[in-house]
Homo-oligomer: A and B are copies of this chain.
Amino acid sequence: MATRPNGLDRFYSVIPAGGIGSRLWPLSRADAPKFLHDLTGSGKTLLRATWERLEPLTGPDRIMVVTGRAHRAAVEAQLPELTDRNVVLESEPKDSSAAIGLAAAILHHREPDVIIGSFAADHVIGDVRGFHRAVGEAVVAAEEGYIATIGITPTEPAIGFGYIHCNGNLGIAGAPGAVGADRFVEKPDLEVAKRYLADGNYLWNAGMFISRADRLLEQLGHSQPELLEGLTELAEAWDTDRRGAVVDRVWPRLAKIAIDYTVAEPAAAAGRLAVVPGSFDWDDIGDFAAIAKLHSGGRKSDLAILGEGARVLSDASSGVVISQSGRLISLIGVTDIVVVDTPDALLVTTSANAQRVKAVVDALKVSGRGDIL
């Protein structure tokens, strides 16, 4: 692109495609995680949509996917353009510090001045141009040495997202929106969320991190030196015939911790975090209430129906039906209902209870019925 900022030439997208999405059970499963589903009705899986959103920024050759070994075939089927060189397989899940950190270490080893941007495989973004604009600014901030993130301007007092508290504009040329941030806050309750919305200085944490790879690794090393050491060893062996042996030895011993704690929060505390506000529609579709909302356009009276060949007969009902079984589903007089119908498990709940699904999944684990997860 003619208007592409310089930094974008050094930019590499990383898609960590992991996480089961427990709150979306029984749709999302260990063997069919959230990112392999079409939750928007677009006809594309969330992973495919993520790829197509990133591809205009970097081209098909500069997108790396980090995923579990079990998902390799499904990921490659979704992304035929993905080259072997751009696939990083985890032998076991190690959370986002290891996943994104390994991608950063490999790419840094191959290309020392690379700028990476990490974008979850299972988020939904409405305005792709707005997203591209924000990433462009974040890349500029990253060139300046910041760990950059994109914060979403809240449209409601959401309790399902974390927030970032922002302060003054950083005055970065080419990144006019970039502001500083001093702290991250976990999902608040409704009263606090309302205060955040009114305050105006809180943005939703969309979990997108854009940074020079060397800066990200350096930041990681401050809090997790052993993890950095392991990732560096892996990266040095990655493109050699020693890869397998080093992975087998090093990966199982890596710390399992979210990148928010190892990179984002420490960077914010140290004044090295830049936030580019984005006002585009974004959702991490964290639970079934989010799916219902996505499809109803906010109208409480609607019944959203997802699933190929879904056969639903509805009378005075609203909410969302996700059909994977091909069975006839009949709803009578149930409102704000959530019905997820899969071949071996059925969930019936309501939007208001959507966040409680994870507890049921945990109960299944404890009761030895993990086969159904």
Contacts and interface: CB of A to CB of B under 8 A. Distances in A.
A352 interface: yes
Contacts of A325: 346
A316 B349 CA distance: 10
Given A328-B369, A363-B313, A348 B345 contact: no
A173 interface: no
Interface in A26-85: 26
9 contacts: A315-B356, A328-B346, A328-B364, A330-B345, A332-B347, A332-B360, A333-B353, A334-B353, A339-B346
Taking the full assembly, how many copies of this chain does it contain?
Answer: 2
A250 to B, nearest CB: 38
A210 interface: no
A94 B117 CA distance: 73
A364 B345 CA distance: 25
Contacts of A345: 327-330
Interface string A288-305: 000000000000000000
Q: Which of A26, A313, A347, A364 has the most CB of B within 10 A?
A: A313
Interface string A307-344: 00000010110000000010111111110010101011
Contacts of A270: none
Given A332-B356, A334-B348, 11 more contacts: A313-B360, A313-B363, A327-B343, A328-B346, A330-B346, A331-B348, A331-B349, A332-B350, A332-B357, A333-B356, A339-B346
A333 B153 CA distance: 32
Interface string A346-373: 1111101100110110011000010010
A349 B317 CA distance: 9
Interface in A235-263: none
A264 to B, nearest CB: 32
Given A363-B313, A364-B313, A346 B333 contact: no
B356 A348 contact: no
